[in-house]
Chains A and B, each alone.
Chain A
């Protein structure tokens, strides 16, 4: 038993020592880069070759570009180690850094993937999509011509910027720099629609549209049209501007908001508004129901204004009749007659103020119908006694003192 153990011990010892020898045989071998080329055109197959004497040793190659990093295994051909850089890395232009992951001594280097001088697609951006006429505002066209692998083309590749505006068609040469080509396209004096495109190495971009909008409006004039000049409180006066233009003689864009301020005889400021169509803003105003003189001026707030015009409205009702009946409790106003003695259109306001002992009891307002209005004073509300009445319509007032209700 004892002997057996001793033999086993020695046998084990011998086995262990054999391993130690194997270990010692593995001496370091100097790996060397054989590939000398460091610049490749994008899309080419890139193979890195290394000299290698030992077949067993195949270290990994770590390589990275701006997309990310990866590890590559090698194959051995004719005693050289070959590393094939994967396509997804060689497809992209830029720098590839590589490192051999070797325990003893690491080899590393840099490769450059260069762009191809071909254009497959044009990546184009333009903005803003609308600019102001006048020559100071501009839109910027950015073109990124890219090759079939979606890489930007080499520096100083020619790009033609083309645009059409009104009757002019222009072409400009621009060159790519730092992957892109760009140009600021300035507006002209006129407003309108500008179509923009670009071309590089025979490939054309699609069409882009830039709206050149008119600049801010300048002074304009206003006029008024009305069916008659009577203050009937019914007809409508229309105010119209001249064609509003900007300083470059462009008609302002549709929808431009114009405010007409009307100052009446009592210095109250009324207003009406309108929006332009083809530069002309129209705005409506109902006639006053009493004689008045208006002074009208229109504004585009903060930007431009019109001349001031004056309109007068003549009184239509100079006088009206009032009849008391049914124990003075039924007050009939009318006939209310207009300028040709026709009945005034329905809706004229008639105000009745009722005073008792010189104190205003109530104000009743009614509208005329077929030229007449009646007020009915109910005994339940207005008890027997003497009242004063005041009737007002169309700016005319009539007083009735001490009317007895019973």
Chain B
């Protein structure tokens, strides 16, 4: 008998390759993981045998991830570039998956038609589509596909005991191991253990006449009979799992994952966080959810009993934090390290053969007959239509998920950034990207420049990162307080990491960059803003690395491809046999246990019907809830929430539609009113929470107090608004707010300013900048400085003046010592200083000493976001002395000083006033620096206030500031001895330039206040201009 080609398999292969093969070009690059794998591939392409990579996390080892897929992409990249490599590997993965599901289904069902159905359906199974097109987990797909290829071989080895099958199965296990480490480990549990059970059942079955006669005793007998084979396979595959990626295990042992777990959506409660439920439960299950009763019914039949257990466990574990069961099953540690969505993936893959079986029985088998006889042919067709429709819907929905809810920012053209880094030795410093999403990996793959960040969180090494539940600094705004906290630390003390350039793709971070002392360099042609920080030393030429033995490097470089080669040699012959049908082959053992599909269980059909009804009910209830919650004008609360949401997402048309139509504000007027308000709150804030209190109600009018919490990069803002709403024709509308009618007297303004331009190098040359072209560092003077203790934290406060004739950028670095001159802490001034000073301008400053937040109290990380969160460093000893290093560099930007304190009133410890913008730039974020003095006009503390709203040109902006609560400030040390400016002693410089300084000159102009501990204050104003023009 000549073996015929399975038309279904061929159809599945063609369909899979054309469908996925063409769509990966539009999806793969925007997935979560694909670009990370690309970065690893780039590493291998450049240094195959050297596992140390300097580019991420100040250095990490690529031996922290199995190398096969990366190395394959790396090898192929030598032919046609990295992306060619990635897409080629993706195509290979698709072929492997389709053929893998066919062989797995054939093994399970012993029926080629059923297996054909299964593999066609598998091509479009939503879990596969999601894993490939949304997650981009290539190694995981390759791993599980090869594992599926291994399963028939394992079955044959256990059943027949032919050594050949042992060799083929082990060779495939080895490939699985080198492509993904987690897959074979859990694959053992969820795929191979049940398979062993099935083999035992089959062996037992052969001893008796029917499955029913298989008793536990016979089963146990078969187990002992096959014990040697099972153990030998188990032991050998264990050896392979350890041996094939031995350097990985060695590295895991040397660098255990001690970091704080990173929150993952698959651990959420899916009922609470519905988006996680959608992505990690609904989509991977897809149509299989409807078939669940059938799957359980079939898998709990005697032959498949162990698969039943396996699929049950996977299903339960896949529910994440919805039920407490997964946490209890896995334990705290494993629960927090593993991403639980993989269990759902495995459950769905385990179900593929049965999906094929169901489809077969529904389309041409006994189920069709049953339904047609019971409900009629039309009903069968309708049901078929619904199922097919749902199936297609799930595929389309999953494929287009990225379109509707983009997981990544828009694709960024990397070439300008790569060119920028290659220019003028910019790659001699580390860089950081903000708002790039996973595309940062693609940038890293294209440049040799190093970043402090990275995209593979298991490899993080800096304590600033490992102590926090954030993957990367890049997207820190989504990681709440911990994210922004980490970022602020990097931004405040960048010289520690040689971090000089920041590429920002997200305006959100601009204020924090500015107030941490960074300056805008220019916008690249792809719209990315480059920020730089002055006075940063370049990365040293020799960097530390954790070296590993040479044999480990060689092992790592050779073993993965060796496993593939061996697997090829062993399995290719069989592949040819299948493909070419040259040789008659005896029927494989697993085909000897066919199931006859002649009588579909009526009860199962009933249960499926019932279950479908329940599902439909749940879906309709969910839609109803969604409607009630989101119908914006059903209740005043809904209207307010919808209005604020619309404002938050800048959907002004929607916001306008919620405004009382009788107020007759056309959308053009409304847009104008909205667009003229700039500032921290309206341009840089993200709404975090909103609470509405209805204060007065009658039928048609309501007054509401709206308390909204906003996250900004600088601090958390609570805003209280009073809104009134009216009900018109059953719909609630908001009353428009009153406008500020302030009108400046003139139409056209003029202003004269001194501008500065530093052309860097004068001559076009690649040589190091000529010494003549290096500007003299501006001379600064520290007028006063002291170490104080207030409210539980230590700080260095003082006043610094630019005594040079050119504007200066100011960087202050304070170090604390104890009596024995032991260094205790060092930190830079964050935003308690004006970082840019005009000639002769002075600024008060305060240097806080921040510890690495929550490094001690890992468990008590607050859930609520507060970017202003401050963790004082814990001192083991009392700091008594300090050292202050100040560096000045010529500054040419951000020198806007036209802001006026035009009104001031102090009443009951509230300081109220107006800022007036007398210039011709719009001030986005005004900052007040408030310096406190004691009764002898000694400076004792510095505080700040970010004014929430911006100030338009020639207009006023109101602010109010609450004077600090009473508290004694303890002055620990006010010696000016250890203060250095540009490396020179402060005293020498000041004696030379300002020998006859008028001490405490402007103290006559301090504002007296009524306060038990403070007697005077001084107000200085710093401004951030969002878009200078």
Cα of A118 to Cα of B704 in the assembled complex, Å: 92
The contact string, 1 if C-beta is below 8 Å from chain A, for chain B 842-879, is: 10000000000000000000000000000000000000
Q: Which B residues are in CB contact (< 8 Å) with A259?
A: 1002
Given A346-B741, A367-B742, also A297-B1005 (CB < 8 A): yes
Given A284-B918, A347-B742, also A130-B842 (CB < 8 A): no
Q: Which of B775, B803, B903, B1002 has the most CB of A within 10 A?
A: B1002
Cα of A347 to Cα of B744 in the assembled complex, Å: 9
Q: Are A285 and B900 in contact (CB under 8 A)?
A: yes
Give the segment of A60-68, A163-171, A312-320, A375-383 that binds chain B: A375-383
Q: Are A269 and B1006 in contact (CB under 8 A)?
A: yes
Q: Which residue of chain B is the closest to A347 with respect to CB atoms? A: B742
Q: Which of B697, B902, B916, B1008 has the most CB of A within 10 A?
A: B902
The contact string, 1 if C-beta is below 8 Å from chain A, for chain B 932-975, is: 00000000000000000000001010000000000000000000
Cα of A267 to Cα of B1007 in the assembled complex, Å: 8
Cα of A234 to Cα of B916 in the assembled complex, Å: 11
Q: Which of A275, A378, A381 has the most CB of B within 10 A?
A: A275
Q: Which A residues are in CB contact (< 8 Å) with B906?
A: 268
Q: Which residue of chain A is the closest to B900 with respect to CB atoms? A: A272
Query: Does residue B807 face the partner (Cβ distance < 8 Å to A)?
Result: yes
Contact of A275 among B753, B954, B1019 (CB under 8 A): B753
Q: Which B residues are in CB contact (< 8 Å) with A285?
A: 900, 902, 916, 918
Q: From residue 730 to 776 of chain B, which have CB atoms closer than 8 A to chain A?
A: 738-745, 752-754, 756, 771-772, 775-776
Cα of A153 to Cα of B415 in the assembled complex, Å: 51
Q: Are A255 and B839 in contact (CB under 8 A)?
A: yes
Query: Does residue B841 face the partner (Cβ distance < 8 Å to A)?
Result: yes
Q: Are A302 and B801 in contact (CB under 8 A)?
A: yes
Number of residues on chain B facing chain A (CB within 8 A): 66
Query: Does residue B258 face the partner (Cβ distance < 8 Å to A)?
Result: no
Closest CB in chain A relative to B899 CB, distance in Å: 8
The contact string, 1 if C-beta is below 8 Å from chain A, for chain B 892-908, is: 00010111111111100
Query: Does residue A182 face the partner (Cβ distance < 8 Å to B)?
Result: no
Closest CB in chain A relative to B276 CB, distance in Å: 41
Cα of A216 to Cα of B904 in the assembled complex, Å: 32
Q: Which A residues are in CB contact (< 8 Å) with B772?
A: 129, 208
Cα of A256 to Cα of B954 in the assembled complex, Å: 23
Q: Are B1019 and A271 in contact (CB under 8 A)?
A: yes
Q: Which residue of chain B is the closest to A238 with respect to CB atoms? A: B918
Q: Are B838 and A256 in contact (CB under 8 A)?
A: yes
Q: Are B805 and A302 in contact (CB under 8 A)?
A: no
Q: Are B994 and A216 in contact (CB under 8 A)?
A: yes
Query: Does residue B986 face the partner (Cβ distance < 8 Å to A)?
Result: no
Q: Are B900 and A380 in contact (CB under 8 A)?
A: no
Given A213-B805, A347-B740, also A129-B1001 (CB < 8 A): no
Q: Are B839 and A253 in contact (CB under 8 A)?
A: yes
Q: Are A303 and B742 in contact (CB under 8 A)?
A: no
Query: Does residue B668 face the partner (Cβ distance < 8 Å to A)?
Result: no
Cα of A285 to Cα of B698 in the assembled complex, Å: 47
Q: From residue 965 to 1005 of chain B, which have CB atoms closer than 8 A to chain A?
A: 992-994, 997-999, 1001-1002, 1005
Cα of A235 to Cα of B698 in the assembled complex, Å: 45
Cα of A380 to Cα of B723 in the assembled complex, Å: 12
Number of A-B contacts (CB under 8 A): 168
Closest CB in chain A relative to B290 CB, distance in Å: 51
Query: Does residue A368 face the partner (Cβ distance < 8 Å to B)?
Result: yes
Contact of B738 among A127, A255, A288, A366 (CB under 8 A): A366
Closest CB in chain A relative to B74 CB, distance in Å: 44
Given A268-B1007, A303-B994, also A369-B741 (CB < 8 A): yes
Q: Are B803 and A216 in contact (CB under 8 A)?
A: yes
Q: Are A269 and B904 in contact (CB under 8 A)?
A: yes
The contact string, 1 if C-beta is below 8 Å from chain B, for chain A 271-314, is: 11111010000111110100000000101111111000000000
The contact string, 1 if C-beta is below 8 Å from chain B, for chain A 115-131, is: 00000000001011110
Cα of A254 to Cα of B740 in the assembled complex, Å: 37
Q: Are A299 and B901 in contact (CB under 8 A)?
A: no
Given A267-B1008, A272-B901, also A301-B776 (CB < 8 A): no
Given A217-B840, A256-B839, also A302-B994 (CB < 8 A): yes
Q: Are B776 and A275 in contact (CB under 8 A)?
A: no
Contact of A255 among B697, B698, B739, B754 (CB under 8 A): B754
Contact of A346 among B702, B742, B918, B956 (CB under 8 A): B742
Q: Are A253 and B742 in contact (CB under 8 A)?
A: no
Q: Which B residues are in CB contact (< 8 Å) with A286?
A: 900, 902, 916, 918, 956
Q: Which A residues are in CB contact (< 8 Å) with B446?
A: none
Q: Which B residues are in CB contact (< 8 Å) with A269?
A: 904, 1005-1007
The contact string, 1 if C-beta is below 8 Å from chain B, for chain A 371-393, is: 00000001111000000000000
Q: Which B residues are in CB contact (< 8 Å) with A275?
A: 753-754, 838, 897
Query: Does residue B447 face the partner (Cβ distance < 8 Å to A)?
Result: no
Contact of B918 among A255, A272, A302 (CB under 8 A): A272
Query: Does residue A152 face the partner (Cβ distance < 8 Å to B)?
Result: no
Query: Does residue A190 face the partner (Cβ distance < 8 Å to B)?
Result: no
Q: Which of A288, A300, A380 has the most CB of B within 10 A?
A: A380
Q: Are B998 and A303 in contact (CB under 8 A)?
A: yes
Q: Which residue of chain A is the closest to B956 with respect to CB atoms? A: A286
Cα of A347 to Cα of B956 in the assembled complex, Å: 10
Query: Does residue A40 face the partner (Cβ distance < 8 Å to B)?
Result: no
Query: Does residue B724 face the partner (Cβ distance < 8 Å to A)?
Result: yes
Query: Does residue B806 face the partner (Cβ distance < 8 Å to A)?
Result: yes
Q: Are A299 and B1001 in contact (CB under 8 A)?
A: yes
Query: Does residue A82 face the partner (Cβ distance < 8 Å to B)?
Result: no
Given A346-B743, A380-B703, A380-B724, also A303-B696 (CB < 8 A): no
Closest CB in chain A relative to B988 CB, distance in Å: 13
Q: Which of B741, B775, B1007 has the most CB of A within 10 A?
A: B741
Cα of A286 to Cα of B902 in the assembled complex, Å: 7
Q: Which B residues are in CB contact (< 8 Å) with A236?
A: 745, 918, 954
Cα of A209 to Cα of B691 in the assembled complex, Å: 65
Q: Are B998 and A253 in contact (CB under 8 A)?
A: no
Q: From residue 142 to 184 of chain A, which have CB atoms closer than 8 A to chain B?
A: none
Contact of A270 among B771, B839, B901 (CB under 8 A): B901
Cα of A378 to Cα of B772 in the assembled complex, Å: 72
Closest CB in chain B relative to A232 CB, distance in Å: 9
Q: From residue 341 to 359 of chain A, which have CB atoms closer than 8 A to chain B?
A: 345-347
Q: Which residue of chain B is the closest to A263 with respect to CB atoms? A: B1005
Closest CB in chain B relative to A216 CB, distance in Å: 6
Closest CB in chain B relative to A194 CB, distance in Å: 15
Q: Which B residues are in CB contact (< 8 Å) with A255?
A: 754, 756, 805-807, 838-839, 895
Q: From residue 14 to 63 of chain B, which have CB atoms closer than 8 A to chain A?
A: none
Q: Are A257 and B897 in contact (CB under 8 A)?
A: yes
Q: Are B993 and A132 in contact (CB under 8 A)?
A: yes
The contact string, 1 if C-beta is below 8 Å from chain A, for chain B 799-837, is: 001111111000000000000000000000000000001
Closest CB in chain B relative to A378 CB, distance in Å: 6
Q: Which B residues are in CB contact (< 8 Å) with A127?
A: 776
Query: Does residue B635 face the partner (Cβ distance < 8 Å to A)?
Result: no
Q: Are A380 and B1007 in contact (CB under 8 A)?
A: no
Cα of A299 to Cα of B998 in the assembled complex, Å: 11
Q: Which B residues are in CB contact (< 8 Å) with A288?
A: 903
Q: Which A residues are in CB contact (< 8 Å) with B837?
A: 257
Q: Are B701 and A300 in contact (CB under 8 A)?
A: no
Query: Does residue A261 face the partner (Cβ distance < 8 Å to B)?
Result: yes
Query: Does residue A334 face the partner (Cβ distance < 8 Å to B)?
Result: no
Given A132-B993, A268-B904, also A261-B701 (CB < 8 A): no
Q: Which B residues are in CB contact (< 8 Å) with A284?
A: 898, 900, 918
Q: Which 5 pairs from chain A and chain B are nearest by CB? A: A347-B742, A257-B841, A284-B918, A253-B805, A380-B701
Give me 9 A-to-B residue pairs in the complex whose CB atoms sit less than 8 angstroms apart, sorted by A's number: A128-B776, A136-B992, A255-B805, A268-B904, A275-B897, A286-B902, A302-B842, A380-B696, A380-B701
Given A301-B801, A302-B998, 15 additional A-B pairs, CB 8 A: A234-B743, A234-B744, A255-B754, A268-B1007, A271-B1005, A274-B897, A275-B838, A302-B999, A303-B840, A303-B994, A305-B998, A305-B1001, A345-B745, A369-B741, A381-B696
